[in-house]
């Protein structure tokens, strides 16, 4: 069913693309007129778009929505969250229901070139990994020949798994389900030898095991999953706004501008900081915002590092250490690199 | 036989005197007898019984142990539960913390009373239908179906009211007041509310025209008071984006159920109609919606429809889902009703024509009452199916009961908790579906009482 839905979704996207050029040019005007940003997230997922018992959305990807809303309205709460299944995510963007989507979506060539989407950057570098019981003695993914692996169906995860096993000449038996919790339960019950998913999720899932230390995440990363916000094709200006809000947050971290010191930083002599905060130049106005849009983003959300540590950092339940990972700043050996603000 | 004996017998009339009844053998009465007859009537039956009992005991003890005996009732996160009982016992605090969301979705918690009040109003509205000595039951039932939605919509959604909306809400309020005024007056005096008012204001008992005029004035006053109250009363707006949980499930299935029956009747009549255009349209509609899965219809309405609308026009996501569910349910209902209509013998139609009833009269007074009674089990079966089918709206991003239950296990505090919420909503679904099915059985008994052959 999932597959047929995806097909239907793809068909809908193709139909949509022929009709939405009209919608495209005016996203910012529409958002301003509506008074809220329609931001699409996925079904609740810890760390990225989590829904808590008191009904609030939070997470790294949710902060991306909030940052764009802060840039436009100076109010990060002016967001209408749309939480839909991955099968219909691109269609909901294409038909104009969502202004942007920010939901751990992998930037791939097919999506970028054939679905009428525009990726606005990368806010998290992920990759697929394996979780195995410590007692199994397995220390490398290469030892998984003939293993039964639990894998989420209907995502690229399943494809990556098959690719990896084929490339390494290993035999694979997979147990699939569309619900992560069912897979985890199967894995814990001994129904499969390993559980595979994006590494960002593995640590969090393990933390909810009865004995987390009985399970290890294997060192191999078998796929590249650059995740980031996505907008519709055809409205370049809107894409620019989302892109430069993201870059602005990374640049702010690089320059040491945080939500706490942003007011003092306004008086800084550093020309890079001056341009980032709109004291000099008119980058914001060029996009239809005000020049100090990044001041608002940083005040309400903080820089990229603050958002990261708040939602997925080592001190959160999700617990993904940032140091020396791909998500560290480029100055610290990672891949987070903002194009210069000038 | 000797002759004397026969002669002696002829003197007295022969009377059959049965021997006194002997009690049934002890092995066939009481609990033991029942068990012997039903559970252990043969060796193979006895073995099957033992096997079944063994499975039931193992199964239910496991469930009870998990859900009650070993369960944790107080904890602040799942880690605490796991540290105490591992996965052997249920971790209910997570479900308890999520109960507001499971029931009302993301509806603002300080506004939840509005849903409760609207639900109580519905109960109060329908209550007179079960009270004895209430005569205007048709009016009460119709007003509940037609006018309650206006009042409920305002309670649920709130926000600014324009002129038309004010008028409709007032109509709902007036209707609710009328329902209870009529119920009370009919139970005390046996007369409808209008007639009672007429009496009280001094209309003579035999003057029908005066009674009717005064009743109308009374209704008009009632309506004006309702309008006055409506203009003075306002609730803050709660966008449908925040609706969810059991509440949303009930809203969608409620609309689907109330819409599908009348629409299904009309479609079924349309399909059987002699008029080619109407028959063609009805058949096309029914076949189109019946041959496409509900999930596809939902998908079409949700993602394709916005493509054909002009820029800037946004049709509410929930409205789209409700319309899709209603149309789908109507198509199915139409075929059920058509089946019921086919069971009515031709003679009934002819007899109705013979006494001079037109099409609508014969349909409403002769055919439908019989057909609907036959169809009760199928109709209610369809309603139950519809109630459960509404879980499909989760695919288009509405947080119904099922999606909310899934969200519990993704909450960082209760990560991985998914059996417990599913267990909980299973109970909810069971209660609702079981009540519906019991009500239908009850209705069948009541309506079929005089028809048993």
What are the structure tokens assigned to B179, written together?
A: 């329902």
Say yes or no: A53 and A199 in one domain: no
Say yes or no: A121 and A256 in one domain: yes
CB contact under 8 A, A30 and B307: no
CA nearest to A186, candidates A196, A200, A175 = A175
Beta strands at A173-177 and A148-152: parallel, antiparallel or unpaired:
parallel
Residue A340 included in any domain: no
Say yes or no: A120 and A134 in one domain: no
What are the structure tokens assigned to B423, written together?
A: 């267990």
CA nearest to B49, candidates B34, B63, B71, B61 = B34
- Domain CATH for A81: 3.40.190.10
State how many domains chain B has: 2
Where residue A3 falls among pLDDT bands split at 50, 70, 90? very low
CB contact under 8 A, B303 and A204: no
> How many other CB atoms are found less than 10 A from the CB of residue B106?
22
Domain final position from A223, A249, A269 = A223
Where residue A101 falls among pLDDT bands split at 50, 70, 90? very high
Say yes or no: A43 and A95 in one domain: yes
Please say whether the beta carbons of A311 and A48 come within 8 A. Answer: yes
The predicted structure's pLDDT at residue B135:
83
Say yes or no: B269 and B354 in one domain: yes
Residue B103 makes CB contacts below 8 A (sequence gap 6+) with B245, B246, B247
Residues of B in contact with A115 (CB under 8 A): none
Q: Among partner residues B239, B296, B311, which is closest to A22 by beta-carbon distance?
A: B311
CA distance A231 to A60: 17
Residues of A in contact with B411 (CB under 8 A): 44, 46, 50-53
Residue B3 included in any domain: yes
CA nearest to B250, candidates B383, B427, B408, B151 = B383
Say yes or no: A153 and A53 in one domain: no
Say yes or no: B432 and B339 in one domain: yes
Say yes or no: A262 and A212 in one domain: no
Residue B179 included in any domain: no
- Domain CATH for B430: 1.10.3720.10
Say yes or no: A116 and A238 in one domain: yes
Residue A229 makes CB contacts below 8 A (sequence gap 6+) with A61, A64, A100, A101, A102, A119, A120, A121, A123, A242, A246
CA distance B239 to A75: 19
Residue A182 included in any domain: yes
Beta strands at A128-133 and A100-106: parallel, antiparallel or unpaired:
unpaired
CB contact under 8 A, B303 and A85: no
Within its chain, how far is the Cα of B78 from the centroid? Answer: 36
pTM above 0.80, yes or no: yes
Residue A313 included in any domain: yes
What are the structure tokens assigned to B190, written together?
A: 């046996």
> Which is it for the CA torsion A264, A266, A267, A273, positive or negative?
positive
Mutation choice for A interface testing from B66, B403, B416, B422 by most A CBs within 10 A: B416
The predicted structure's pLDDT at residue A157:
87
Q: Which helix (H) or strand (E) holds B279?
A: helix B276-290
What are the structure tokens assigned to B451, written together?
A: 């028809």
Residue A212 included in any domain: yes
Say yes or no: B25 and B64 in one domain: yes
Residues of A in contact with B319 (CB under 8 A): none
Domain that holds residue B55: 1-69
Say yes or no: A210 and A283 in one domain: no
Q: How many CB pairs under 8 A join A and B?
A: 127
Say yes or no: A108 and A157 in one domain: no
> Which is it for the CA torsion B193, B197, B199, B200, positive or negative?
positive
Q: Which helix (H) or strand (E) holds B96?
A: helix B92-104
Identify the DSSP state of A339.
P
Mutation choice for B interface testing from A51, A82, A311, A315 by most B CBs within 10 A: A51
The answer on pLDDT for A20 being more than 70 is no
State how many domains chain A has: 2
Residue B138 included in any domain: no
Residues of A in contact with B415 (CB under 8 A): 46, 204-205, 207-208, 317
* A121, A265, A280, B22, B85 from A342: Cα distances, Å: 18, 17, 10, 109, 58
CB contact under 8 A, A205 and B299: no
Domain final position from B19, B51, B69 = B69
Residues of A in contact with B306 (CB under 8 A): 95-97
Mean pLDDT for the stretch of residues A90-118: 91
Say yes or no: A105 and A120 in one domain: yes
Residue A41 included in any domain: yes
CA distance A132 to A196: 9
Domain that holds residue A132: 128-223
**Mind spelling out the 3-state secondary structure of B13-36?**
CCCCCCCCCCCCCHHHCHHHHHHH
Locate all alpha helices (DSSP H) within chain A, ordered by sequence: 2-19, 21-24, 27-34, 60-73, 89-94, 109-114, 156-167, 180-188, 199-207, 236-255, 262-265, 271-276, 283-286, 293-300, 304-311
> How many other CB atoms are found less than 10 A from the CB of residue B73?
12
Q: How far is A136 from chain B (nearest CA, A)?
A: 21
Residue A337 included in any domain: no
The predicted structure's pLDDT at residue A84:
86
Residue B161 included in any domain: no
Say yes or no: A205 and A302 in one domain: no
Residues of A in contact with B410 (CB under 8 A): 43-46, 50-51, 180-181
CA angle (A112, A113, A118) in 5-degree steps: 40
Residue B228 included in any domain: no
DSSP assignments along B191-249, one per residue: S-HHHHHHHHTT--TT-HHHHHHHHHHHHHHHHHHHHHHHHH-------GGGB-HHHHH
DSSP assignments along B170-205, one per residue: HHHHHHHHHHHHHHHHHHHHSS-HHHHHHHHTT--T
Say yes or no: A88 and A199 in one domain: no
pLDDT digit string (tens) for chain B, length 453 residues: 456 666 555 667 788 888 888 888 777 778 888 888 888 888 999 999 999 999 999 999 999 999 999 899 999 988 899 888 888 889 999 999 999 999 999 999 899 999 999 999 999 999 988 888 888 888 888 898 889 999 999 999 988 888 898 999 999 999 999 999 989 888 888 888 888 888 888 777 777 788 888 888 888 999 999 998 888 888 899 988 899 999 999 999 999 999 999 999 999 999 999 999 999 999 999 999 999 999 899 988 887 887 777 766 777 889 999 999 999 999 999 999 999 999 999 999 999 999 999 999 999 999 998 888 888 889 999 999 999 999 998 877 888 999 999 999 888 889 888 899 999 999 999 999 999 999 888 888 887 755 654
Say what the alpha-carbon torsion angle B284, B287, B292, B298 is, to the nearest 10 degrees. Answer: 60
Say yes or no: B284 and B358 in one domain: yes
CA distance B307 to A116: 15
Domain final position from A223, A240, A261 = A223
CA nearest to B425, candidates B77, B64, B99, B119 = B99
The answer on pLDDT for A15 being more than 60 is no
Domain final position from A206, A223, A240 = A223
CA distance A92 to B396: 9
């Amino acid at each position: 069913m999932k597959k047929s839905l995806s097909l239907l979704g793809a068909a809908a996207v193709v139909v949509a693309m022929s009709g939405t050029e009209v919608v495209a040019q005016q996203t910012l005007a529409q958002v301003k007129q509506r008074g809220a940003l329609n931001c699409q997230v996925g079904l609740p997922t810890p760390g990225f778009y989590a829904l808590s018992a008191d009904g609030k959305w939070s997470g790294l990807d949710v902060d991306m929505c909030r940052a764009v809303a802060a840039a436009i309205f100076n109010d990060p709460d002016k967001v209408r969250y749309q939480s839909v299944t991955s099968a219909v995510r691109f269609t909901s963007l294409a038909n104009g229901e969502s202004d942007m989507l920010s939901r751990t979506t992998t930037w791939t060539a097919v999506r970028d070139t054939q679905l009428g989407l525009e990726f606005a950057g990368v806010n998290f570098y992920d990759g697929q990994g394996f979780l195995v019981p410590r007692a199994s003695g397995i220390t490398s993914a290469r030892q998984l020949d003939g293993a039964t692996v639990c894998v989420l169906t209907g995502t690229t995860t399943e494809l990556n798994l098959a690719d990896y096993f084929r490339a390494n000449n290993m035999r694979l038996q997979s147990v699939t389900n569309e619900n992560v919790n069912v897979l985890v339960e199967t894995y814990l019950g001994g129904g499969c030898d390993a559980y595979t998913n994006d590494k960002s999720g593995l640590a969090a899932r393990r933390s909810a095991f009865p004995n987390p230390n009985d399970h290890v995440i294997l060192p191999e990363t078998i796929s590249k999953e650059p995740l980031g916000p996505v907008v519709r094709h055809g409205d370049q200006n809107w894409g620019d706004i989302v892109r430069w809000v993201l870059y602005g947050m990374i640049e702010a971290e690089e320059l040491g501008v945080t939500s706490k010191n942003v007011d003092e930083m306004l008086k800084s002599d550093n020309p890079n900081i001056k341009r980032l905060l709109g004291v000099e130049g008119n980058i914001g106005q060029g996009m239809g915002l005000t020049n100090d849009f990044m001041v608002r983003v940083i005040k309400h959300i903080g820089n990229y590092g603050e958002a990261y540590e708040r939602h997925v950092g080592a001190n959160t339940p999700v617990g993904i250490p940032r140091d020396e990972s791909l998500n560290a700043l480029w100055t610290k050996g990672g891949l987070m690199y903002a194009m210069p603000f000038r | 036989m000797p002759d004397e004996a026969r002669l002696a017998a002829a003197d007295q009339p022969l009377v059959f005197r049965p021997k006194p009844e002997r009690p049934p053998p002890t092995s066939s009465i009481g609990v033991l007898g029942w068990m012997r007859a039903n559970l252990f009537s043969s060796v193979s039956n006895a073995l099957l019984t033992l096997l079944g009992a063994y499975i039931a005991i193992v199964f239910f003890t496991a469930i009870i142990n998990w859900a009650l005996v070993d369960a944790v009732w107080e904890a602040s996160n799942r880690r605490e539960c796991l540290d105490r009982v591992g996965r052997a016992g249920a971790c209910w605090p997570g479900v308890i913390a999520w109960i507001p969301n499971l029931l009302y979705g993301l509806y603002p918690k300080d506004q939840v009373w509005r849903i409760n009040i609207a639900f109580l109003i519905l109960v109060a509205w329908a209550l007179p239908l079960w009270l004895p000595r209430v005569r205007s039951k048709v009016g009460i039932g119709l007003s509940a179906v037609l006018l309650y939605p206006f009042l409920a919509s305002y309670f649920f959604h709130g926000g600014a009211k324009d002129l038309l909306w004010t008028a409709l809400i007032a109509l709902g309020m007036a209707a609710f007041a009328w329902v209870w005024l009529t119920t009370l007056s009919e139970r005390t005096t046996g007369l409808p509310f209008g007639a009672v008012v007429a009496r009280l204001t001094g209309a003579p008992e035999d003057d029908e025209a005066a009674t009717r005029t005064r009743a109308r004035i009374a209704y008009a006053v009632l309506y004006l008071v309702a309008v006055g109250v409506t203009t003075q009363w306002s609730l803050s707006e709660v966008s449908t984006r925040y609706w969810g949980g059991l509440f949303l499930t009930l809203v969608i299935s409620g609309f689907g159920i109330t819409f599908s029956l009348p629409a299904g009747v009309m479609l079924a009549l349309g399909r059987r109609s002699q008029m080619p255009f109407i028959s063609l349209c009805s058949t096309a509609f029914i076949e189109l919606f019946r041959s496409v899965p509900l999930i596809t219809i939902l998908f079409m309405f949700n993602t394709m429809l916005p493509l054909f609308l002009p820029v800037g026009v946004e049709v509410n996501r929930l409205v789209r889902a409700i319309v899709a569910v209603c149309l789908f349910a109507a198509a199915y209902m139409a075929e059920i009703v058509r089946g019921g209509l086919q069971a009515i013998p031709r003679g009934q139609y002819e007899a109705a024509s013979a006494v001079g009833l037109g099409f609508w009269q014969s349909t409403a007074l002769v055919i439908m009452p019989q057909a609907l009674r036959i169809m009760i089990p199928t109709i209610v079966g369809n309603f139950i199916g519809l109630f459960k089918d509404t879980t499909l709206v989760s695919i288009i991003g509405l947080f119904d009961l099922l999606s909310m239950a899934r969200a519990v296990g993704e909450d960082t505090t209760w990560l991985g908790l998914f059996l417990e919420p599913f267990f909980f909503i299973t109970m909810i679904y069971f209660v609702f579906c079981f009540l519906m099915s019991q009500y239908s059985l009850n209705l069948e008994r009541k309506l079929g009482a005089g028809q048993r052959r």
